[in-house]
Structure 1
Amino acid sequence: MKSAFLTDRGVVKVGGEDARHFLNGLVTTNIDLVRPGLGRFGALLTPQGKIIADFLVTEIPAGHGGGFLLDCPKSLAQPLTARLSIYKLRAKVAIENLSDAFGVLAVWDGTPQMTPDLAFADPRDESLGWRVLVPAELANKAAAAIGAEMVDESDYDAHRIRCGAPRGGIDFSYNDAFPHDTNMDRLHGVDFDKGCYIGQEVVSRMQHRGTARTRIVRIGLGDAIAAGTPVTAGDKTLGTLGSSAGDRGLALLRIDRVADAVEAGTPVVADGHALSFIVPQDIVPPKKASA
């Protein structure tokens, strides 16, 4: 079993007696289902349905004061804290950026031999492993306690890519991508049965009308190619390459155009190198719902 402390991740706390109701009315996931030791994947969206910040969220045990912790990109922790505070109004909540005190330990390729208080299985996909929210200075001790070998965080990045889990800022741009673009609907990041949240109308319409045409897909690479490199087929641009590690990568593509290229036998390339598709189902365009 492996573990890595993720220096690019931060932690935001939302506490107070109204915390659950407050978050549930704002974000894409169902906070009513979050419990200590159980996490959910979600995002805060713009009213137009685009992702401001995505995160994993878990509940703090009552013995540790209660509330919720959001495992989010460290660069977005303070902006997310400020954005949530805008919606606070008269709600009895307290919102804090705890990134100086807490960080994220990722654990994969096995099951922890013991479960720390602030640990939970990654809700996006079981293959991704576990998350442990812990101060940086205690990361090595936590890894030893759960029976995990500490490795470099680049090893986790390679694991994430192979599992098909995108990273904001590299695989997609915040404030520019819809949840369907980043596969949040496939990674259990959107609850289509919960009540209203910011951007819900747009996201629900894309889901029920089958209008999502841009997706992050898993690709095979023959050579290292820089993130941001255009992906093309003939004279058509299909999208851009995102993060990669070894012979695997992620790309944000117009899957209808990819499907057309594959059907026509036109090579899909980036920087002159042919790409392959690890999971063919990733590039099958959705069927539009009947009126």
Structure 2
Amino acid sequence: MSQPRIESMTFAWLKSRALIAIGGPDWRDFLQGLITQDVETLAPGEARFGALLTPQGRLLYDLFVVARSNSAGADGCWLDVAAEHRAAMIQRLAMYRLRAKVEIAADETPASVLFSGSPGDGRDPYGDSAWIPAFAGMSGWVRDPRLPALGWRGYGVEPPPGAAIAEESVRDAAKLGLGVPGPADWGSDKAYPIEANFDLLNGIDFRKGCFVGQETTSRMKRRGQVKSRMLPIVFSGPAPEPGAEVLAGELRAGVVTSVGAGRAMALMRLDRAEGAALLVDGRAVTLERPAWFLAALGLEAA
């Protein structure tokens, strides 16, 4: 199977993201008991998606854990977090550190992304495991752990020769086109990670043991029926404002969380939205269930 050409890829600097360097002999044990993702088996060249939750189980900060090592062979990781929350995240981690031998510091290495200009339905457009650009394995690049179609995340790298250069907003539009929510949709201390589809996007390891907010998160998963999920809606005309209600008749079926051209993300009440005629600001909208969403739930497209 042929590999995709770099010319078919788009590169963008992720100015909305910032890094925290985590090191010291206890860094794995420290993070393992805090975040939703397993770090004990994290390997060089790998990234994992996760979050730090409140004790009540609400999504506080999303993050990517990125394995790294220095020239002396000492290991550690970066936490790729929302730039606006980095200072608060460092403060929160320091509060949890206690006597652990852990180093926590801001790191100014720039983050970037390389993604396909035509990601299709959200599954891997080049096969189950073949979406590997020619530079795969080079230092600084890790595959996005959520969906293959989201491409590669880069740290301290330059745009590959031949790749198109775009603003981060182009990446945001592509992500919305895939129906993948982001920080603008879940905010901080507002939504539960399962509502934001973290369980379907490899953002929660339910086998790793304890983490902050685990009890509520595990209970929601065990029940097997999640009432609300973030899903895309499609509309014609001007975009609604974030916060606009999605109505099914006279019932509130959801709320718009972020918007783009002809599409928006909304936190939807599934029991009210499925099969209903939906309106936002008096205009008809259509609820979409992306292919990756259906596949993760073991469902088939209608």
TM-score, normalised to structure 2, is 0.84
Per the TM alignment, residue 188 of structure 1 is displaced from its structure 2 partner at its CA by 0.5
Structure 2: stretches of 5+ with no match in the other structure: 1-8, 117-130, 298-302
Matched, 1:42 2:36: no
The equivalent residue for 1:67 is 76
The equivalent residue for 2:121 is none
Matched, 1:272 2:288: no
The equivalent residue for 1:173 is 187
The equivalent residue for 1:89 is 98
**What is the identity, as a one-letter code, of the residue corresponding to 1:165?**
V
**What is the identity, as a one-letter code, of the residue corresponding to 2:32?**
N
Pick from 180, 186, 189 the counterpart of residue 200 of structure 2.
186
TM-score, normalised to structure 1, is 0.87
Per the TM alignment, residue 27 of structure 1 is displaced from its structure 2 partner at its CA by 0.5
Instruction: Tell me how many residue pairs correspond in the alignment.
Output: 269
The equivalent residue for 2:159 is 143
The equivalent residue for 1:104 is 111
Per the TM alignment, residue 111 of structure 1 is displaced from its structure 2 partner at its CA by 4.1
In 2, Cα distance between the equivalents of 1:258 and 1:35? 41
**Structure 1 residues 151 and 45, CA, compared in 2 at 3 Å: closer, same or farther?**
same
Per the TM alignment, residue 104 of structure 1 is displaced from its structure 2 partner at its CA by 1.5
Sequence identity, in percent? 35
**Structure 1 residues 155 and 111, CA, compared in 2 at 3 Å: closer, same or farther?**
farther
Matches for 1:111-260 after TM superposition, within 5 Å? 111-115=132-136, 116-134=138-156, 142-145=158-161, 147-168=162-183, 170-223=184-237, 224-259=239-274
Q: Secondary structure at the match of 1:26?
A: coil
Report if the CA contact (8 A) 2:69-2:77 is conserved. no
Report if the CA contact (8 A) 1:36-1:118 is conserved. no
Report if the CA contact (8 A) 2:59-2:186 is conserved. no
Q: Secondary structure at the match of 1:92?
A: coil
**What is the identity, as a one-letter code, of the residue corresponding to 1:195?**
G
Report if the CA contact (8 A) 1:219-1:278 is conserved. yes
Deviates more, 1:107-116 or 1:55-64: 107-116
1:41-78 CA distance string (max 9 Å, x none): 00111111111101111111243753110111111111
Per the TM alignment, residue 216 of structure 1 is displaced from its structure 2 partner at its CA by 0.1
**What is the identity, as a one-letter code, of the residue corresponding to 1:50?**
R
In 1, Cα distance between the equivalents of 2:214 and 2:115? 33
